[in-house]
Chain A
């Protein structure tokens, strides 16, 4: 009797989960198709398909093939990375505020990317490698600075805010030394942008999603037990230390590689997890839905920044303006319930 009840509950949750993931994938595909068709000029769906099939269509080959397609692909891949990495941190530290863009990890990756490009004159995969190393270094530094007899969530977040402020000023300094100091480039490294995206940038993103994303998803069962607290997780047979190291490396890797290409797109990592959790409900791991939500946020935010607003804004400005009210809402709600942050 009980067993069949549990089995039925499991089936229901799995159905709901599959429905949510399937729906999100469908919406994302629809959004992808729409951003390829719409823009300054409308391109008919069959023309888009012909361009995607590799045919040479005058005009459309350039608008769709050179401008819209790389942009949409990079936006989706970066969004997947940010969403996945952010949700992993939030689950592991059991705090919606402990996302990499609030505690300074994205900033660290951004600083490394800027230094690599402006000062060391590097490009391509080396920039991503530097960004990953710096992201890990910042994660270790914040962890070390915040731990004094156990890591307290509050202290971790405040230390992260301080470190972010410092890293921001390093970015501003580096950019002010750059020979071609222009606003668009500065915006990329301060708020994130997919302007001038190129299809070759999709390769490192895909590789990082395959390696780090795969690692994260394969650990998602252990990660879910961490939600219950370290002691409970250990009692359930999870190797807490190993899981934590794997999750930190994977999440920082995802965030850093994406940041090295698009800059730290503000608040995508912070928003994706809670939005996905709200949609999904208590129906299993939030990781994959969060990744899809992140992709949707970047795709839609970029489209809105380009065409729906009076001037053309980089996607980070749009998501930043979206995310801040949510952060404020979070503070207000926590205050009302009297719970600690």
Chain B
């Protein structure tokens, strides 16, 4: 607290502003949530929606709405987790391009799950989550180690390339696993694109404790991230234990993206885009940035899911495809804006 507020320039925009934006964001999330329940491949009347919200599934419309509710909840939860985890990763690595998708962490989780499904016969959601978090953690450590070797530490280019190389290798391995086990390939293939369709509360429940833990750790590490933003030497000078701060914050981010990947498959770019947009509203103070990123991520993923349902009618577009289409231009924009020396 004291370390953060004592630094001039950290609170670029003191006062109201941010509080108002927070309220607006919550309002937007509620609006999008309502829209996501109401809109979809099938047009449903208001009375059906209300009936379904009371738990009735008598007509097809009511059943459709009842199926959309867990889906919306999942999109909100997954989006919040990915947005938050991206913000933490960008803080820990001090790197504007850090994102669980670009760094290959989501693919690490999905390779772990694919191997577990194909060769170890694991089928419970609980086990998926553990396996996915293990894969995510191992990949994150690997990519970060490669990207930060040598002089200059983890520069955006080195991290992005290390992430890309790892992603290509991992996706080759995922394909290898799928091709050698044709019987489970269909399910894995659908899961591999990244989507929130077919969600049920039963699938969501086992993940919630992990997401809760990740959320708590990440939000609590905001102060550390503010200190790390000043550089390792300065943070150490301010009395922070840099290694501990980095390790604990990363653990929170890995819990979040690993658990999300276990339910939804790898969804990219949410963790990249959302923190950048939120930084425009909040400035660089992580105590504000992190909650904003969580809310913003939830909004983005619900909106992408709605767009995916409407654009490809009567079929559906998986949300992972929509977020890549939205996110890649933002990625290019960030790269363009940055000065060459910073890259």
Contacts and interface: CB of A to CB of B under 8 A. Distances in A.
Interface of A: 97, 102, 145-146, 148, 152, 154-155, 157-159, 161-163, 165-166, 168-170, 172-173, 176-177, 183, 186-187, 190-191, 266-267, 309-314, 316-318, 320-321, 323-325, 327-328, 331-332, 334-338, 341
A313 B318 CA distance: 26
Contacts of B331: 161-162, 165
A266 B338 CA distance: 29
Given A161-B161, A266-B168, A341-B157, 6 more contacts: A173-B312, A176-B193, A324-B168, A324-B172, A327-B161, A331-B158
Contacts of B168: 266-267, 320, 323-324, 327
Interface stretch (B84-92, B130-138, B144-152): B144-152
A162 B150 contact: no
Interface string B167-190: 011011101101110000100010
Given A159-B332, A165-B268, A152 B149 contact: no
A270 to B, nearest CB: 10
Contacts of A334: 150
Identify the interface centre among A152, A316, A332: most chain B CB within 10 Å of its CB.
A332
A191 to B, nearest CB: 6
B250 interface: no
A86 to B, nearest CB: 15
A328 B149 contact: no
Interface string B12-28: 00000000000000000
A169 B161 contact: no
A158 B172 contact: no
A317 B172 contact: yes
Give the interface size bracket for B toward A: 35 or more
Contacts of B317: 173, 176
A129 B166 CA distance: 33
Contacts of B229: none
Contact of A331 (B162, B321, B324, B329): B162
5 contacts: A155-B340, A165-B269, A170-B321, A320-B172, A331-B165
B173 to A, nearest CB: 7
Contacts of B179: 183, 187, 311-314, 317
A162 B326 CA distance: 11
Contacts of A183: 178-179, 185, 189
A334 B312 CA distance: 45
Top 6 nearest A-B pairs by Cβ distance? A335-B150, A166-B328, A324-B169, A169-B324, A311-B180, A327-B165
A312 B180 CA distance: 7
A170 B312 CA distance: 13
A169 B157 contact: no
B160 interface: yes
A321 B335 contact: no
Contact of A157 (B149, B157, B169, B193): B157
A324 to B, nearest CB: 3
Contacts of A145: 332, 336
A173 B321 contact: yes
B325 interface: yes
A309 B172 CA distance: 14
Contacts of B220: none
B236 to A, nearest CB: 23
A316 B165 CA distance: 14
Contact of B165 (A177, A324, A336): A324
B3 to A, nearest CB: 32
A292 to B, nearest CB: 24
A159 B335 contact: yes
B1 interface: no
A25 B149 CA distance: 39
Interface in B289-330: 312, 315, 317-318, 320-321, 324-325, 327-329
Contacts of B162: 328, 331
B277 interface: no
Nearest to B269: A165
A152 B336 CA distance: 10
Q: Which of A157, A168, A331, A334 has the most CB of B within 10 A?
A: A331
A321 to B, nearest CB: 4
B320 to A, nearest CB: 7
Given A166-B325, A310-B180, A328 B165 contact: yes
Contact of B164 (A161, A170, A311, A341): A161
Contacts of B312: 173, 177
Nearest to B320: A169
Contact of B166 (A168, A170, A176, A328): A328
A208 to B, nearest CB: 26
Interface string B53-83: 0000000000000000000000000000000
A191 B172 contact: yes
Given A173-B321, A327-B165, A335-B151, A161 B160 contact: yes
B227 interface: no
Contacts of A341: 157-158, 161
Given A158-B157, A162-B332, A335-B149, A169 B175 contact: no
Nearest to B163: A161
B193 A172 contact: yes
A311 B332 contact: no
Contacts of A331: 146-147, 149, 158, 161-162, 165
B97 interface: yes
Of A102, A159, A169, A313, the most chain B CB neighbours within 10 A belong to A169
Contact of B157 (A154, A266, A327): A154
Contacts of A317: 172, 175-176, 179
A230 B210 CA distance: 55
B150 A97 contact: no
A336 B149 contact: yes
B156 interface: yes
Contacts of B175: 187, 190-191, 313, 317
A209 to B, nearest CB: 27
Nearest to B101: A165
Given A158-B157, A341-B157, A163 B321 contact: no
B343 interface: yes
